[in-house]
Amino acid sequence: MSQQTNYTEDNIRSLDWKEHIRMRPGMYIGKLGDGSSPDDGIYILLKEVLDNSIDEYVMGAGKTIEISIQGNKVIVRDYGRGIPLGKVVDVVSKMNTGGKYDSKAFKKSVGLNGVGTKAVNALSTYFRVESTRDGKSASADFKLGELTEQDFLEETSRRKGTKVSFIPDESIFKNYKYRHEYVSKMLKNYVYLNPGLTIIFNGDKYYSENGLKDLLQESTNESDIRYPIIHLKGEDIEVAITHSKTQYSEEYHSFVNGQNTTQGGTHLNAFREALVKTIREFYGKNYDASDIRKSVISAVSVKVMEPVFESQTKTKLGSTEMGGGLPTVRTFINDFVKRNLDNFLHKNQETAEAIQRKILQAERERKELSGIRKIARERAKKANLHNKKLRDCRVHLGDLKKDRRLETTLFITEGDSASGSITKSRDVNTQAVFSLKGKPLNSYGLTKKIVYENEEFNLLQAALNIEESLEDLRYNNIVIATDADVDGMHIRLLLITFFLQFFPEVIKDGHLYILQTPLFRVRNKKETIYCYTEQERKDAIEKLKPKPEITRFKGLGEISPDEFKHFIGDDIRLDPVMLDDNMSIEELLSFYMGKNTPSRQEFIINNLKVEMDLVEDEN
């Protein structure tokens, strides 16, 4: 029999606010991460502070927000009303304390639970808040949520507003760094949702006059859209719609009270339903919903009284009511879209005709593919069950809660040895492995038909569950894990081409990564150092002299499972795959995967020099 553990009063503990946040940070900010993913904790910390400044602008106070990120230190300065000076300490260190409980002061606020800045405070080795109003200022300094210094009321000539500075705790956010691209995207969304607001980030200015219309124009290429963007605005709602010429799946940007709801929710479901219903009624045809929404690119923003989100990170709206005496979210959005989109289509015949041509084309393609799809789905189901192409994780096997989807990762590997090492090393709770068989097909210029006819693509699409849209994407992180040799690099390129050609939103939404594994192992009898670059190798040799043992890993299969678990665990290094804002997807694919051109030859030669220098140095 197992020995029972005593359960007495001594087992009962009461944690104060900062202890609880630090012990269970995931409850407050979602996953931690190192900054390689846009939903990593360090961006949530920035967002929580920034949301308060945005709320000030929404309430008509302060048109400019200044942000500085230098190394690991973040500073956010707004010119709003400023925190009431006698409450500067309380609002950042007492749970469930804040002005947003008063619906008159913050009618449609982003954050309502009084937790955000407290989480930032508790998870920072340095946190300082300064407030200025009525010619006076007050400030407080904290370390890990503990008050270290407080300056009471002082006379000042500074402009009113609030300034928050913090440094995230490296013991929680290990090896982290802020990536400019992710911060930039966050800030662009803020200005799209708040036309007239100016955000200055490290000297760069972010501003929008046309709201969600600007968002779609930024995220698409003018030559790729079928008709000019439809932009509809009303009280508490804004919508922008177009369709892509080349993209196959649906792409949505959804927001509630200025918060980017990356997982959608009741408002996005209502919009997708309203779009289909309005189109059907306008044309008087019972078009298939998938044909209407195929290749749609759209953005929808609503403002809700005291919204209810399904997590503290506010990525999915759970509210069914608009509040303030308005109808339900579903009814409100449906009525707005039906009235305004219908009016727009009646007044813009060319756009209406372009949409109908697009629907009819999608209908033809769907019917042509229907037989192939059915066979492909059956083949995918059989392969997953019997060939173990996909080694799934427990989140999707029903052993863990589905709300851990943000933690899930799919490693796409090449060959049996590499997939074997990762499979034996992985965290079976949240990490899955998909094994490639040889090199994938170059899909540049091919149609969606090839996804169903090609076994590798068909099974990968099925594993990710992205046939129609990203709404039900099964893994938050998709990681290409190939050897660091020429063949491995080629496979990476072919996989990136697959996603760009058929599912670009996987990359646009920050789900695709490259796994970095060490090139060298340098060790002596006392210490082992894994090196990811040539410089790290030189530093390790210098540290471990005299002459340590040096091993170069030529492939993932050469790394033992015991070693591999370090490289896909807490110390995992991921490089996000990001789109170049200066090139369209078609231009990217044409340059890298199209016919050989002098410009690409020059690019290859210039970049080969780095590898040649490395080889010469080793010799």
CATH number at 294 reads 3.30.230.10
Q: Which residue has the tokens 């999707």?
A: 396
Confidence of residue 246 (pLDDT cuts 50, 70, 90): confident
The pLDDT score that the predictor gives to residue 109 is 59
Q: Give me the mean pLDDT over the 254-276 stretch.
A: 89
Confidence of residue 419 (pLDDT cuts 50, 70, 90): confident
The pLDDT score that the predictor gives to residue 309 is 73
The total number of structural domains in the chain stands at 4
**Domain-located, residue 422:** yes
* Residue 379 pLDDT exceeds 80: no
* Structure tokens belonging to residue 548: 């340590």
Q: Burial code of 521-544, b = ≥16 C-beta within 10 A, e = fewer?
A: bbbeeeeebbbeeeebbeebbeeb
Between CA 108 and CA 94 the distance in angstroms is: 22
The pLDDT score that the predictor gives to residue 250 is 85
* Nearest residue to 133 (alpha-carbon basis) of 97, 91, 87, 96: 87
Name the residue with higher pLDDT: 79 or 397. 79
The pLDDT score that the predictor gives to residue 148 is 94
Confidence of residue 433 (pLDDT cuts 50, 70, 90): very high
* Residue 98 pLDDT exceeds 60: no
Residue span of the structural domain in which 412 resides: 387-517+554-579
Looking at the fold, whether 279 and 419 belong to one and the same domain comes out as: no
* Residue 104 pLDDT exceeds 60: no
How far is C-alpha 524 from the geometric centre of its chain's CA atoms?
Answer: 41
**Domain-located, residue 7:** no
The CATH number given to whatever domain includes residue 140 is 3.30.565.10
Q: Which residues contact 263 (CB under 8 A, 6 or more apart)?
A: 310, 315, 316
Confidence of residue 126 (pLDDT cuts 50, 70, 90): very high
Confidence of residue 618 (pLDDT cuts 50, 70, 90): very low
Write the CA distances from 589 to 181, 439, 452, 510, integer angstroms.
Answer: 21, 18, 21, 18
Average pLDDT, the chain: 84
* Side-chain-side CA neighbours of residue 602 (13 Å): 4
R_g over Cα of the chain: 26
| Cis amide linkage into residue 327, ω under 30° from 0 | no
* Structure tokens belonging to residue 435: 């094994």
Looking at the fold, whether 25 and 153 belong to one and the same domain comes out as: yes
Q: Which domain-ending residue is among 315, 334, 365?
A: 365
Confidence of residue 387 (pLDDT cuts 50, 70, 90): low
Q: Express as a percent the part of the chain with pLDDT over 90.
A: 38
Confidence of residue 215 (pLDDT cuts 50, 70, 90): very high
Q: What is the edge-to-edge ordering of all strands in the sheet holding 237-243? A: 230-234, 237-243, 296-302, 251-256, 259-260
Write the CA distances from 83 to 48, 131, 589, integer angstroms.
Answer: 15, 6, 50
**Domain-located, residue 592:** no
* Structure tokens belonging to residue 286: 């019972």
* Residue 400 pLDDT exceeds 70: no
Looking at the fold, whether 65 and 182 belong to one and the same domain comes out as: yes
Name the residue with higher pLDDT: 111 or 368. 368
Looking at the fold, whether 546 and 495 belong to one and the same domain comes out as: no
Looking at the fold, whether 391 and 408 belong to one and the same domain comes out as: yes
The CATH number given to whatever domain includes residue 392 is 3.40.50.670
**Domain-located, residue 380:** no
The pLDDT score that the predictor gives to residue 329 is 87
Contact 252, 244 (CB under 8 A): no
Q: Which residues contact 225 (CB under 8 A, 6 or more apart)?
A: 242, 243, 244, 245, 297
The winner for highest mean pLDDT among 382-396, 531-545, 554-568 is: 531-545
The pLDDT score that the predictor gives to residue 327 is 83
* Structure tokens belonging to residue 479: 């990681």
**Domain-located, residue 115:** yes
* Residue 361 pLDDT exceeds 90: yes
Q: Give me the mean pLDDT over the 556-572 stretch.
A: 82
Between CA 309 and CA 255 the distance in angstroms is: 12
Confidence of residue 382 (pLDDT cuts 50, 70, 90): confident
Q: Give me the mean pLDDT over the 263-280 stretch.
A: 92
Q: Give me the mean pLDDT over the 247-263 stretch.
A: 85
Q: Give me the mean pLDDT over the 57-64 stretch.
A: 88
Confidence of residue 237 (pLDDT cuts 50, 70, 90): very high
Q: Which domain-ending residue is among 579, 595, 614?
A: 579
Between CA 299 and CA 189 the distance in angstroms is: 11
DSSP 3-state of 519: coil
Query: Rounded to a whole number, what is the largest CA-CA distance in the chain?
Result: 82
Q: Which residues contact 166 (CB under 8 A, 6 or more apart)?
A: 45, 49, 73, 74, 120, 121, 124, 126, 127, 128
**Domain-located, residue 133:** yes
Between CA 242 and CA 20 the distance in angstroms is: 46
Looking at the fold, whether 131 and 269 belong to one and the same domain comes out as: no
* Residue 111 pLDDT exceeds 70: no
Contact 499, 510 (CB under 8 A): no
**Domain-located, residue 374:** no
The pLDDT score that the predictor gives to residue 153 is 78
Q: Give me the mean pLDDT over the 221-247 stretch.
A: 90
* Structure tokens belonging to residue 72: 């690991």
Looking at the fold, whether 413 and 506 belong to one and the same domain comes out as: yes
Looking at the fold, whether 92 and 226 belong to one and the same domain comes out as: no
Q: Which residue has the tokens 């060490």?
A: 518
Between CA 283 and CA 292 the distance in angstroms is: 11
**Domain-located, residue 584:** no
* Nearest residue to 276 (alpha-carbon basis) of 348, 326, 333, 316: 333
Name the residue with higher pLDDT: 544 or 416. 544
Contact 278, 343 (CB under 8 A): no
Q: Which residues contact 613 (CB under 8 A, 6 or more apart)?
A: none
The pLDDT score that the predictor gives to residue 356 is 96
Strand partners, 495: none
Looking at the fold, whether 51 and 152 belong to one and the same domain comes out as: yes
Looking at the fold, whether 34 and 172 belong to one and the same domain comes out as: yes
Between CA 4 and CA 508 the distance in angstroms is: 52
Looking at the fold, whether 127 and 194 belong to one and the same domain comes out as: yes
Looking at the fold, whether 352 and 314 belong to one and the same domain comes out as: yes
* Residue 495 pLDDT exceeds 80: yes
